[in-house]
């Protein structure tokens, strides 16, 4: 599967989920993760769809795979924080929430907003 085909499959799955076709979305994301097990985007999308469907075990498994691929990513840390909060583990939720904040700060340092600097 090419990168473009993979991206199209993930986008199609996202559109399926948004239109209420959850089973189709999950099937496409299963295909994407099987074809490209190193695709952060596929695992993250699978985590988000499962989380939205309240399939917390499946969401956590997919999120952990995505996190292993990009541990400093703002969005996967936020997803993991939300999953752990729903599972009732406040300490883990706070850990991943803090990691998300650190990732956000890191990104702000790399790409500071020029408008913000002029107002200082």
Q: How many whole angstroms separate alpha carbon 56 and alpha carbon 50?
A: 7
Q: How many whole angstroms separate alpha carbon 120 and alpha carbon 118?
A: 6
Task: Tell me what the mean pLDDT of segment 68-89 comes to.
Answer: 94
Domain count, the chain: 1
> Which pLDDT does position 26 carry in this prediction?
98
What CATH number is attached to the domain comprising 15? 1.25.40.10
The answer to whether 36 touches 6, Cβ cutoff 8 Å, is yes
Q: How many whole angstroms separate alpha carbon 106 and alpha carbon 65?
A: 22
Q: H/E element holding 38?
A: none
58-62, 70-74, 86-90, 105-109: which range is least confident on average?
Answer: 105-109
Q: How many whole angstroms separate alpha carbon 90 and alpha carbon 93?
A: 5
> Which pLDDT does position 118 carry in this prediction?
44
């Amino acid at each position: 599967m090419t990168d473009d085909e993979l991206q199209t499959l993930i986008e199609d799955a996202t559109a399926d989920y948004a239109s209420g076709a959850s089973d189709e979305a999950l099937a496409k994301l299963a295909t994407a993760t099987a074809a490209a097990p190193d695709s952060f985007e596929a695992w993250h999308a699978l985590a988000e769809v499962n989380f939205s469907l309240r399939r917390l075990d499946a969401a956590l498994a997919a999120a952990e795979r995505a996190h292993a691929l990009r541990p400093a990513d703002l969005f996967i840390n936020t997803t993991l924080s939300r999953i752990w909060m729903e599972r009732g583990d406040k300490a883990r939720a706070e850990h991943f929430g803090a990691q998300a904040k650190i990732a956000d700060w890191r990104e702000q340092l790399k790409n500071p907003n020029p408008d913000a600097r002029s107002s200082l």
